[in-house]
Every structure is written in C-alpha cells, then in structure tokens.
C-alpha cells in the first residue's frame, strides 16, 4: 500500500461518535504511529508544515477527527489535498455502527452524544451526525461497521490493513535468562523453568564459568532431555509467535530460568536466540539478567 517515495503515511480516523474511533487510534499508536486525537482539520496542513521545517516529515501519523469540528466536512477535501501535495500518502478510515448499538454504548458509558444538545435526543443526535458525516464516509478508503466487531477483531483488521501491509511494524522479541533465587522477571510473557537439568555449578571446572562458555554450553546441551525440551520449546514458539503478531502484540519476553541464572538458563537462552535468529522476522534481543 505504501509508496516509498512518499514523505510518510497519514491515517485519518473518523466516523460516528461511539463507533470505536478512540480504540482504532490507540491500536495505531501501539503499532508505531504518532497519534493525535481531535485535531481540527484546518490545523492538519499547518502541523505538517511546522514539522517539516523543524524536524522533517512525520513517518507514520494517525489523526482522530470527528463531527465536533464544524469545519471537518466542508474543509477536509482542501486540507487532505494539501497533505498529499506535501508528499504524504493519506488514508481515510471511517467507523460506524447500527443505531441500536450506538444507543446501547452511550447508555452503558453514560456519556452524552456531542450533538445531543442541538438534536434534543440521543437517537436524533445519531441520525444528525450520520447525515452530516456521509460525505466523509463516501470518500473513505476503508469503512468499518463495528456493530458486531469485538476489540480483538478490530485490532486485527486495523493492523492487517494499515500496519502489516506497510511492513513497518514487527513483534519485538527478547530472550531473557534469569535466576529464580533473584526473583521472577516481571516483564516475562512466557517463562520456562530449566532447573530439571543437571547443574554445571557442581562441576569444579565449570562453576566459575557461565552458559556463554563453550564448555558449559556443551555440557548442558549434551543431555537427551535438554535436546527433547528444546525441540518441543522451539516448536511451540514457532507456533505462537505468528499468532502473537497477528493479535497486534508489540513486545514478547521469553524468560528461561535456572537457580542462579549463570549456567543452564544462559546456555539455553543463547541456543533459543540463535535458533530464532535464523527465521524470525523482527527485532530479536538476547539478555542475561543475573550474570555477575
């Protein structure tokens, strides 16, 4: 979707109040977009010009706009065209939902519709806003009806259309070794306890080394149970990582723990990191928390 000759990508998120615009904007923000909500449409070209003069173009920008801006419908065409003339690729995402669903959402959150004062009732306000924003809907690159769209599915659609298609954002994975005696790592998403393996600490020539040393690594990897464990672990990681990325997860920490975080966990963390490096597409970090 993205043209590499463009200055950057802008996603305009608009639509009916209560349709999930804030949620869509948050999804884009979590996936590397600079997000600005409730920006008046007339300020968009000015914002882009100021940025260009001071720090260069935005790379990925998500902007929320709604019917509370009195200039949105009348002036959006000119403002969007100015953005494109500056070299940006601009996409318009329009969210809507059935009247019954919108009424229920406003009732559950006890929020007032921004047009309630002018319309006199919630149903009239929804109808008024739907009519006012119809020109934007007709120009949208993607119209999403969120009436039956749960949060995970909304994330999936937005990520597939505006993130993965760009090839900008990948799941960032950290492989972390640690020692249980020093406490559990709070950042861990997946944790594996390898204290069932023979401990090199009890071998004099290996005690002062750590799992990065060839002698320790060869010792730890020499056991059949180590090889079977790694085979099963790597198999499940190859299954899980694409699913985490599909769900829009940005960071994943795979923690491997032994008693002190010096030998077994380090050797296995290195092995896992090396294996993932050969096929995983995305940022991949190796960290040893407890090596002294």
Q: What is the DSSP string of 239-273?
A: HHHHHHHHTT--EEEEEEEESSSSSHHHHHHHHHH
Q: What is the pTM of this model?
A: 0.59
pLDDT mean for each 10 residues of the chain (292 residues): 64 94 92 92 94 84 92 95 93 93 87 82 91 93 89 82 62 92 91 97 95 96 97 95 78 94 97 92 88 78
Q: How many Å apart are CA 198 and CA 220, to the nearest integer?
A: 7
Is 2 part of any domain? no
Question: Residue 233's closest CA among 263, 254, 214, 202?
Answer: 254
Instruction: Please tell me whether residues 197 and 274 are part of one structural domain.
Output: yes
Is 265 part of any domain? yes
Instruction: Please tell me whether residues 17 and 123 are part of one structural domain.
Output: yes
Instruction: Please tell me whether residues 184 and 82 are part of one structural domain.
Output: no
Instruction: Please tell me whether residues 198 and 277 are part of one structural domain.
Output: yes
* Domain span at 250: 172-288
Instruction: Please tell me whether residues 89 and 230 are part of one structural domain.
Output: no
Is 229 part of any domain? yes
Instruction: Please tell me whether residues 95 and 223 are part of one structural domain.
Output: no
Instruction: Please tell me whether residues 150 and 23 are part of one structural domain.
Output: yes
How much is the pLDDT for 273?
96
The domain boundary, picked from 118, 137, 166, lies at 166
8 A C-beta contact, residue 253 and residue 189: yes
């Amino acid at each position: 979707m993205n043209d590499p000759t463009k200055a950057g990508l802008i996603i305009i998120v608009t639509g009916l109040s209560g349709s999930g615009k804030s949620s869509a904007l948050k999804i884009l923000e979590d996936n590397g977009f600079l997000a600005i909500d409730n920006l008046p449409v007339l300020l968009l070209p000015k914002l882009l010009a100021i940025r260009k003069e001071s720090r260069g173009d935005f790379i990925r920008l998500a902007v929320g706009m709604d019917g509370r801006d009195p200039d949105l419908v009348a002036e959006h065409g000119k403002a969007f065209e100015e953005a494109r003339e500056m070299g940006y690729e601009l996409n318009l995402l329009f969210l809507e939902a059935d009247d019954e669903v919108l009424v229920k959402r406003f009732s559950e959150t006890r929020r007032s519709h921004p047009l309630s004062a002018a319309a006199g009732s919630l149903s009239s306000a929804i109808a008024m806003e739907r009519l006012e924003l119809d020109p934007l809907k007709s120009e949208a690159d993607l119209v999403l009806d969120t009436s039956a769209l749960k949060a995970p599915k909304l994330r999936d659609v937005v990520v597939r259309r505006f993130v993965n298609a760009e090839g900008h954002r990948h799941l960032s994975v950290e492989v972390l070794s640690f020692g249980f005696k020093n406490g559990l790592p709070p950042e861990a998403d997946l944790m594996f306890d390898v204290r069932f393996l023979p401990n090199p600490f009890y071998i004099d020539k290996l005690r002062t080394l750590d799992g990065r040393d060839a002698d320790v690594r060869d010792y730890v990897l020499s056991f059949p149970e180590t090889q079977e464990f790694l085979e099963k672990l790597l198999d499940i990681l190859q299954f899980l990582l694409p699913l985490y990325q599909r769900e829009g997860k940005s960071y994943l920490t795979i923690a491997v723990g032994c008693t002190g975080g010096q030998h077994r966990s380090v050797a296995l963390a290195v092995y896992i990191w090396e294996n993932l490096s050969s096929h995983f597409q995305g940022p991949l970090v190796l960290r040893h928390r407890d090596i002294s």
